[in-house]
Structure 1
Amino acid sequence: PPEEESSLELLSPPPRPRKNKVARTPGTEAPGSATPTAKPVKSGAPKRESRRPNGDGSTPSVPALAQPPRLKKADVVQLVKPKAKPENPDLDDEDETLTLDDAPAKTLLAPPERPQAKPKRPTNVRKGKEWEDEEEDNPDKAKAVKAKAGAKGKRKPLLIEDDEDFDIDQQNVEEEPTAVSISIARPPKPNQPKPTSSPPMPKGRKPSRPSKEGRGDQAAASGRNTRDQKVVAKTPEIVTLTGSMSMRELSELVKIPETEIIRNLFTKGIAINITQTLDMETCTKVIEELGIEVDTPEKESAATKSEMLELTDLENLQLRPPVVTIMGHVDHGKTTLLDSIRKTKVAQGEAGGITQHIGAYHVDVDHGGKIQQVVFLDTPGHEAFTAMRARGTKVTDIAILVVAADDGVQPQTREAISHAKAAGVPLIVAINKVDKPEAEPDRIKQELTEQGLVPEEWGGETIMVPVSAIKGENLDTLLEMILLVSEMEELSANPNRSAKGTVIEAHLDKSRGPVATLLIQNGTLRVGDCIVAGASLGKIRAMVDDRGDRVEQATPSFAVEILGMNDVPSAGDEFGVYPTEKEARAVADTRAAERRENRLQQAMSRRVTLSSISAQAQEGRLKELNLILKADVQGSVEAIVASLEKLPQNEVQIRMLLAAPGEISETDVDLAAASGAVIIGFNTDLASGAANAADREGVDIREYTIIYNLLDDVQGAMEGLLEPEEVEEHLGIVEVRAVFPVGKGSVAGCYVLSGKVMRNRRIRVLRGDTVLYNGVLDSLKRMKEDVREVNAGYECGIGTDKFNDWQEGDRIEAYQMTMKRRTLSLV
């Protein structure tokens, strides 16, 4: 019977429904069968009828319900066009084949399944937001979201609240609220604190589309970090320069791009390129043009007496003689003063009475019945020897400023004062030549007061001693003042250690090799010591003092000449003694490598300049004068090169192919012959065969003993390379006093007011301030005779082929064009 079959079905295992097989069309029926299948058999009971008691009066195990409540469909956002829906959707039409009478208990209690054929795009499980079109089933909700988000966007995010595809344990929702951050509607903002590093989103900006595992938030944070990293570094206010550098290094130093540096400098007239290596001087100019302050540390070679002392020397300090530098203007009597003190004739050995390089001498002075020693450094007074004077000041203890009483303060006098003040050494003024009738010591004191040196008798602190170097007046007083100041300074050193000091001078001797004059500032120097001076290495073979005697050792404050160096050191280099030759060689190799790198960078920086010079020379805009300079000592080389660099070189460029101390050799002649250079020798000799080679190759060798003549001849040679210029030479002034018609033209009767007038020369006819004619004078007559010229005070007749409009009162200027040798100019 049907009742038994229904009871049997209820007691049998529940059928396992198949997904995607449920009939969706209303009115479709499954074939009647008692066997459980994926599609339950539709019973004859009416639809949605309440469950009735069985025939035996028993109540079914499942309570009779009208219909289990179904979850409300979620407002799923469809990006594609949604299907048409009936105006009055009926829940009964969705599943007509399944009834409450036929469904087993397990099926009724199971959570409802959502058919997968209906949604067009499955919702990602981890996404908490979807994009919704404005025209949706819930227009009120969409309008509310749109009003909150702003009026610009047409597609706004909407949180899905009832999506049935979310596989979430509903029992743990309240216990673990963080697990449902992508399913429920927007969580309350106060319950989710924002990280401090994440700034709020600006109003009106679209939110980033969320992705898996919060990728959108990470991307937004990464974007903010990237923007923060793009902040341009602040330009420093002050930078420190240690040497030459490339354009890239300069850009990194000042925190400005290379292109911007080049563009700014180009607008200011400084042309550089991105591959150029800039020397220290150019870097300083470039950085200053950018408005940045430059801090240039002092080089290590600028040795001072305080740097020579170490902490270990304080226990063994002993008094040492003072080192005195004699400074002043050229020809003010510095060497003569030293000669009078030493009782020798040093000045007679100097060419033209001018000191050419530093000499170091020591003298014995009787002070209070005790013999004390004073070491003198004689520096040149010529303006070319600025570097040598500066070196002498940096190693001195007391400076003697010599001022001629009949000349006064001169440029080198002011320079010497500045050197002494910069070095911080005491200054004593020796007013020389007071024995001359035109001497004015008071005027000299007044001029020195204007330079900041106030004499003691005027209430100042500067010691001023009037002396006469020739007659020897007041020399004892000057020496007493030197020793007095020395005692006040408490000059001391440690003689019980290895020597340290400064190279005063160095040169290459053809018989003895490299020779260096050293001033010992601390320690004791001995024969056989391993010494490093700058990048030069050597083992002392012999030492000679200022009197020509060989010595075995030299104590602090004394100057000696040494032999045994492998190369000529540079004047001003520090020297030191090392225990072994291996240690000394390591130090010398390191310094030599640094100097090679510096020279290479300087050569690269000059490459662009030299190439542009060559291009201008090929075009005829710039000429070159090639020179080879050989001098007696390194100080003379530096002085001559510095003086030549001061000459104007905008039209004629000096190319110094070689500048070194030593004699002129055949190699120098070969170099000059190959490059068309002129060899200049200063206080040096010619090697054997050099003169014959010069005659054979046609090389010009110029020898000098006074720097004035050298500079004048070089300047004359540069001016000789300049093209002569055509200049106007004034001849005379003529006045027109009568006009005589001649044929078709006219002739002016004139009177020569000044100078003269010449035929076939040029004239300029002026009427008032207006120039009527400027051309050649074709006809010049006197008393009807053709003449070549007429001088002032005579009458003459003047005629031209191209001008006949003469009037009385016209003024004629006679002149001629001549070629004149040009001179060097800075323009």
Structure 2
Amino acid sequence: MSIIRVYELAKQLNMTSKEVIELLKKEFDIEVKNHLSSIEGEEAKIIMEYVEEIKNKGNKNEDINHNKEKNEEKNIAKHEDDKFDDLDVDDDFKKNEKIRKKVRNEKIKRHLGKENKKQEEQIEDIGIVTIPESVRVSEFAERIKKPATEILKKLILMGVFVTINQEISFEVAEKIAEQYNILLEKEVKQEREEVLINDFEDKEEDLMPRPPVVTVMGHVDHGKTSLLDAIRHSKVVETEAGGITQHIGAYTVDINDKKIVFLDTPGHEAFTAMRARGAQVTDIAILVVAADDGVMPQTIEAINHAKAANVPIIVAINKIDKSSANPDRVKQELTEYGLIAEEWGGDTICVPVSAKTKQGIDTLLEMILLVAEMQELKANPNRPAKGTIIEAKLDKGRGPVATVIVQKGTLKVGDSIIAGTTYGKVRALIDDKGRKVKSAGPSIPVEILGLAEVPNAGDILYAVSDEKTARQISEMRKEKERQQYFASSSKITLQDLFSQIQEGKVKELNIIVKADVQGSVEALKQALEKLTNDEVKVRVIHGGVGAITESDITLASASNAIIIGFNVRPNNMAMQLAEREKVEVKTYRIIYEAIDDIQAAMKGMLEPEYKEVITARLSVRQTFKASNIGTIAGCYVEDGKVNRNNSIRVIRNGVVIYEGKIASLKRFKDDVREVAAGYECGLTIERFNDIKEGDILETYTIEEVKRA
């Protein structure tokens, strides 16, 4: 006969006797007095089977602590009682209520065991659930296969009050998932944009030669426009009966059955602005220098911009028809900037030209083709198009019009396109001669009609699979832009100016100056603009006489500016508006205080630079070992003065082998603060004992150098 005591059962279940007594009463309807009570017969057998099942599962508390729903238990019990009554057994057995309860409880237990198993299988089916950084409640419920109402209840209990369509953070979702034994993982946000655009590297065998794209740069009045006009008229207009019907910011020139594409840009600023946006359009830069004027400031800038873009430079020495022309002087001046003419042994092609007489134009075009040939310019025309917007405008009759230079692939009428945040479908393509064309290959400039909005110059244009994809990318980009705008739209204060400069958020510090007289406005304006440095440009966007008004606050809010008042105050309405708009208004009675405050915000608060100063040089003449101290270096101070607070480095055969701190410094048996040159001393180094005779020790300090 089976028999088991309560305390033994508690030991096996890893529970207290009290918990076991409650369990017996609740689960098996067995009442016992205390931990010494014994259970025997059929009851003990059922309980032991229960214990065995739990042991096999490997988690003793899993099923014990499982709370069964009361309604479910009643339904099962009723169902089992009904089944029991239908059995063909004698009345005595039927009347034995105690055994009936035991059988019923055993069946309940088995049924719940099955339910638990089902639940475990369901969790296994769900596995690891991945969700984004934040997720809507409805979507989260769907992913973990739970009712949304149940999730909302749990959220309310946690103190999170949201609706079914609001989002919860990953951390909150993780806490909910833990209650269902579900493991959550944060979704790695893939740049879906890249997947949708599908821009890929072309195979070498797919590449074919393409025309070079040329930009003309140089100093003002050196004849850039005249040169472009000369090329255009001699090579384009003569083939067109009515001349060029329309100018699109770029045009093609045919020479020896080959094409050259010229970009008609405003100058090197636009050239670099496009490059800054990731649009490296130009293959060759033409530097126009006047033969009678030589290298000028903007010429130097153009050289630097072209070098930064890493494009070959061809120098066109213009105005050689003038009597004061001196091409050799130009070549001489160019050598100072690393451009040495070929005839002088360098690698820069210099072509004397005259835009007025058309002299040298053909030679210049031939040189462009020669340089292009050496560059081996190639692109794959048989792929979705990729290009760069070089100009865009809103035309009254045609809507948004963009000029694009195709860089890869072929752009066709009917293609779905995306450029920056705008998208559309190509309704028409117009070439540089005003003719409608069906397609445009690599390096060919065309005007596009069909975009929904006007894109920005420098935006990269992509042809995508369909208009839906283009719209999707556009929405993603607009959302990203919106987030960036809100992140950067916080108003500037002098206190946080430095941190914003460091983060690269502030390139310009806009200031509005209001004063009692016009003379003070001008004086403050000039003094403040002189504070401009490499990291931030001070710009006075408005100056006026009189009190600080609401219109000043509105302008400051729109321009993200600081208002400086000299001998004037804001009126009540303006002060209230400034508080609402979070615009900083600073008022001063003394002019240099205003300048000092701006200077302190810009320069005094800049992180100081740190400079290393060598304080002494010592040679190790002897070493001593001390059991409690380590290695003591007997040194001679050759130069300077060694201080106990100095940092120290150990140099062996010219190589620094350790840097650290001086642990102790002694003269004979006395601890000293410092030892001057020409004296001997003993020192130990913190956490370093590998000092050898002949080592050189250098002591140094790090000094703070305030930036000005």
| TM-score, normalised via structure 2 length | 0.41
Give the strand-richer structure, 1 or 2: 2
| TM-score, normalised via structure 1 length | 0.36
Give the helix-richer structure, 1 or 2: 2
Larger Cα-atom Rg: 1
